[in-house]
């Protein structure tokens, strides 16, 4: 049978001996973990240009309207697919410009909506191709 030892006794924190040391407030910090006791606490890094929800939603809504307008120009599935590709390429160009010199939140919304719109068009083209064995874009 193994022998169990009692844990080492823990010493109590030192008590201040004078009233002058009790008047100085101690800074409130997180206690060190013990791994690196002399190191300062880790820094907190923040995004210099944070992205809010309102610009993302406005970019998303405007791009959905953009895709709706381009999609309404088409007469059939092939036209819809080509107009959607044109709308996606122009939306990506606008998102790239906005990322570099404009609002990155709007650029994120544009990228999300253009990816969604292009994937819907590709889904329709793929469904037609699977059911008729004819590629609809040529």
**Residue extents of the structural domains in the chain:** 53-132
Question: Lowest-confidence range among 30-39, 66-75, 82-91, 128-137?
Answer: 30-39
- DSSP letter at 137? T
Position 43 scores a pLDDT of 75
Digit-coded pLDDT (tens) for 19-38? 555 555 655 666 656 666 66
Between 27 and 82, name the one with better pLDDT: 82
Q: Round the average pLDDT of the chain to a whole number and report it.
A: 84
Q: Is the pLDDT of residue 65 over 70?
A: yes
Distances (CA, A) of 52 to 58, 118, 130: 11, 25, 41
End-to-end Cα, the chain, rounded Å: 82
Condensed to tens digits (0 to 9), the pLDDT of residues 101-114 reads 988 999 999 999 99
Who's near 71: CB < 8 A, 6+ residues apart?
A: 80, 83, 84, 87
pLDDT at 133 over 80: yes
Tokens of 81: 């697919």
């Amino acid at each position: 049978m193994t022998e169990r030892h009692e844990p080492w006794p823990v010493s109590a924190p030192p008590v201040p001996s004078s009233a002058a040391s009790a008047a100085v407030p101690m800074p409130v910090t997180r206690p060190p973990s013990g791994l690196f006791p002399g190191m300062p606490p880790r820094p907190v890094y923040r995004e210099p240009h944070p992205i809010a929800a309102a610009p993302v939603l406005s970019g998303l809504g405007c791009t959905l309207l953009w895709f709706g307008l381009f999609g309404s120009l088409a007469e059939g599935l092939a036209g819809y697919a080509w107009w959607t590709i044109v709308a996606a390429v122009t939306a990506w160009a606008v998102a790239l410009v906005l990322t570099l010199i404009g609002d990155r939140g709007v650029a994120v919304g544009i990228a999300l909506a253009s990816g969604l719109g292009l994937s819907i068009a590709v889904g329709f083209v793929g469904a037609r191709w699977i059911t008729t064995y004819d590629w609809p874009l040529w």
